[in-house]
Amino acid sequence: MDSSLETAFTTTRYCIAHEGDRCVIRIGEPTPARLAGWVRRYDGSGRAWLITACNPGAAILDTDRNRGRTEFLRHWVAKRATAWLSSVNEAADGRWPDEPGVLAAGIEEGRMRALARRLGQLAIVQVPAAAPVSLLWLHEAPA
């Protein structure tokens, strides 16, 4: 595992649009109470999944390609989730472009992992109502 890539993922600010405000989550920290309530309300397992379609394999794509991938992701999630919120992943050091995505509730973990692999993503973020936020690697990150 490339330690700089792991650091980039674990220090990212995962920002979620929730009830007209911006809710920030971080890997290893508890889910903020108001977002935890949303997760409990819309997901029987008590966890939701944050995913982006942008920049697969940690390779930067142009804006138009990322936009098209994000539209696909939102359409896919809208058909399957009990609820979803818009999100933006912001690199802590500002050296990586912001990545729009979604926080999806009501979709089984295996389906989210499969979607992320289909989109070429290296990881997804698990957002539980009653435990710290965690990063789930899908396969070995590039060295």
Mean pLDDT of 102-124: 97
When pLDDT is cut at 50, 70 and 90, the band that residue 140 belongs to is low
pLDDT single digits (tens) 48-59: 999 999 999 999
Give the separation between CA 42 and CA 75, rounded to whole angstroms: 18
Q: Is the full-model pTM beyond 0.85?
A: yes
Give the separation between CA 94 and CA 72, rounded to whole angstroms. 26
In this prediction, residue 1 carries a pLDDT of 55
Q: How far is CA 62 from CA 19, 47, 93, in A?
A: 30, 32, 20
